[in-house]
Structure 1
Amino acid sequence: MSNLDLRAAPTVCGGRSDVTARPVRELLAAKQVPLGESTMVRRLLPNIGRRMIGAWCFIDHYGPDDIAQEPGMQVPPHPHIGLQTVSWLHEGEVLHRDSLGSLQTVRPGELGLMTSGRAIAHSEESPREHARLLHGAQLWVALPDGDRHIAPRWEHHPELPLVTGGKGLRARVLLGELDGAVSPGTTFTPLVGADIALAAGTDTRLPVRPDFEYAALTMSGEAEVDGVRLAPGSLLYLGCGRTELPLRADVDSAFMLLGGEPFEEKIVMWWNFIGRSSEEIVQARRDWMEGRRFGEVEGYDGDPLPAPALPSVAMKPRGNRN
């Protein structure tokens, strides 16, 4: 997945001092952003008011889009450093290719997890013969300093653990642990990602960790999370300090619960790179544009994405909210 903004601005985030250490209900507005030729996404993180949720640092929600007569998602080869990408679908398929030689179709309920480490390139596209609807979320996880230079890897997990908590709740655990269920996906910081379905009439409580900060991304329906009713594409930041999360639904609904231990390090995020200094980002851009380090994505019908121009000022790591 890629940030295709040709006027990419640096985002500085991280640091515990900027985390809300108590329960809150902070609704974050989305920004409409084009992704490839025919897909519009709702960018919810980074946000003017919030940069990270645990190690989660980038959230796009898209669809449901009718792509029966469209090419669907078409994201050319592009680079990443210092992060993990998470591909999650409710409807449709996405074909992943990368510079390791991976070729994998990701389908609803399956985890596509790419760890960029020191450098990787990949592309994402709807298969030539694809389903009518495309609906999902694309997310990034920042890697801590001790792991951000590891060798890149691709993981595909078609089977994920389930949590059934109370009548009408069913949760699939993408990453981390929730209520005793542990995902097979590799993580590098304490975090959780879960896709939670609520049947109409559900009124229950989900156990959560008070040392984690959380947010809820509504995928469909109108889930009520901690008393706040959420329309699809909404992101509700919940802060820390809870031991359980009240959930209700009058209609069948689904949302993603994203959380983790507040990310202590301060980072610089620019375009598709996460680093710790302006110099590191500048070098990564140069390596991509000059064909070094990231490898080649074979099989994609099109040219790689060129990197946008760098900002005119040096990029400095700061806190979560500024």
Structure 2
Amino acid sequence: MMRSMSNLDVKPAATVCGGRQDVSAAPVRELLTARNVQLGETTQVRRLLPNLGRRMVGAWCFVDHYGPDDIADEPGMQVPPHPHIGLQTVSWLHEGEVLHRDSLGSKQTVRPRELGLMTSGRGISHSEESPRDHARYLHGAQLWVALPDSHRHVPPAFEHHAELPTVTGGGGLHARVILGELDGAVSPGTAYTPITGADLTLAEGTNAALPLQPDFEYAVMSMSGEAEADGVRLSPGSMLYLGSGRTDLPLRADVGSSLMLLGGEPFAERIVMWWNFVGRSGEDIVEARDAWANGPHFGDVHGYAGPRLEAPDLPPTPLKPRGRER
């Protein structure tokens, strides 16, 4: 079984997104249904972004939810070295652990509710794997953040933050701030756009309201349990897009539940996303693929027991950015 913090689709579709014309300036309730995506022969994830109905939420441009999976008698996550440009990856676990290695020489085990944040910038390669002696269950989310044009060529970097700020607003709600800012609490992770990422724990009987910024757009993804966001009941693996113009978000739970809150200032730029690359043009993507196939641009990942991933074939039609349209 393979679970990934990257896109292992062997036939990835090009996704064009960005621009503000499709962002609701008022609160909405759009329930997004996950698309089951097969990665390899045995692995399936629930892909929530990009979605047929919604391409991005702020700078968040890619979200997969996976697990919980019983990997007691399996190797678990085994993702060979592969490249990224133009984005940040956020590794977020509720169960299990992931060993991260990259071409900068980083080697770090990321555990539940710790932030593993990799900024690809102009180019980095990395691998991910479950440690040899690993926990029985693996459950988490894979998220990407698009870098703005002014920072998409920054030097690559990796950060690990075991301690993150929390928000406890009463009523049974506890929030851990993963990236950006929430209710005055600021994550230590480096952010390049106004953004919010938070892990929400709702105790049994929670009835609370979470403060929001009205100029941000938001969505909530259900990780476990059965919670209500603004009166909409969410089952695990679903996402509710909330639009903008909100000052708070009513939350309820009759049983213990977990959600992820994603938000940020609407991303104005148009981007092209293909495989593990985010660029501004089809030429950016072609150049990145050629650099991975033919040169040393992305560096080497040392210590992974196996060959690196080869890039899929490019689609036959040119890749062009077109904004956030559905």
TM-score by length of 1: 0.98
1:49 aligned partner:
53
1:226 equivalenced with 2:226 (yes/no) = no
2:321 & 2:188 partners in 1: Cα distance?
A: 32
Counterpart amino acid of residue 60 in structure 1: D
Give the structure 1 partner of residue 95 of structure 2. Answer: 91
The one of 309, 313, 318 equivalent to 2:317 is 313
Partner Cα separation in structure 2 for residue 31 and residue 307 of structure 1: 23
Distance in 1 separating the partners of 2:117 and 2:291: 24
Which of 129, 134, 147 pairs up with 1:130? 134
Report the Cα offset of residue 124 of structure 1: 0.7
Give 1:36 deviation, angstroms: 5.7
Q: Distance in 1 between matches of 2:12 and 2:104?
A: 26
> For 1:127 and 1:313, how far apart are their aligned partners in 2?
40
Distance 1:35 1:190 in 2: 32
| 8 Å contact from structure 1 (residues 35, 75) kept in 2 | no
Letter in 2 for 1:302: G
The residue aligned with 2:21 is 17
- 1:1-322 superposed matches below 5 A: 1-35=5-39, 39-322=43-326
- State the Cα deviation string for residues 107-130 of structure 1 (Å, max 9, x = none): 001000000000000011111110
Cα offset for 1:321? 2.5
User: Using the alignment, how far apart are the partners of 2:76 and 2:248 within structure 1?
Assistant: 39
1:193 deviates by: 0.2
Equivalent-residue separation in structure 2 for 1:117 and 1:78 (angstroms):
14
Where 2:289 maps in the other structure, the secondary structure is helix
User: Structure 2: how far apart are the matches of 1:175 and 1:33?
Assistant: 26
In structure 2, distance between residues paired with 1:225 and 1:245:
7
CA distance in 2, matches of 1:91, 1:228: 26
Of residues 261-270 and 3-12 in structure 1, the stretch that sits farther from structure 2 once superposed is 3-12
- More deviation, 28-37/258-267: 28-37
AA aligned to 2:53 is G
- Residue pair 2:6, 2:142 contacting (<8 A) in 1 also: no
C-alpha contact 2:34 2:237 (8 A) present in aligned 1:
yes
| 8 A Cα contact 1:36 1:73, kept in partner | no
Q: What is the letter of the counterpart of residue 195 of structure 2?
A: L
SS at match of 1:100: coil
Provide Cα deviations, 1:153-179, integer angstroms capped at 9, x if missing partner: 000000000100122110000001111
Measure, in 2, the Cα distance between the counterparts of 1:39 and 1:73: 10
Partner SS, residue 282 of structure 1: helix
Q: Percent identity?
A: 74
Cα distance in 1 for partners of 2:38, 2:187 equals 31
TM-score by length of 2: 0.97
- Counterpart of 1:285 in 2: which secondary structure? helix
- Paired letter, 2:189: G
CA distance in 1, matches of 2:171, 2:38: 39
CA contact (8 A) 2:9 2:40 kept: no
CA RMSD of aligned residues (A): 1.0
- Residue 34 of structure 1: how far off its partner (Å): 3.4
How big is the shift at 1:35?
4.1
| C-alpha contact 2:183 2:211 (8 A) present in aligned 1 | yes
Amino acid across the alignment from 1:319: G
Distance 1:193 1:93 in 2: 20
Match of 1:284, SS? helix
Structure 1 residue 33 displacement after superposition: 2.0
Alpha-carbon distance between aligned partners in 2 of 1:178 and 1:98, rounded to the nearest angstrom: 30
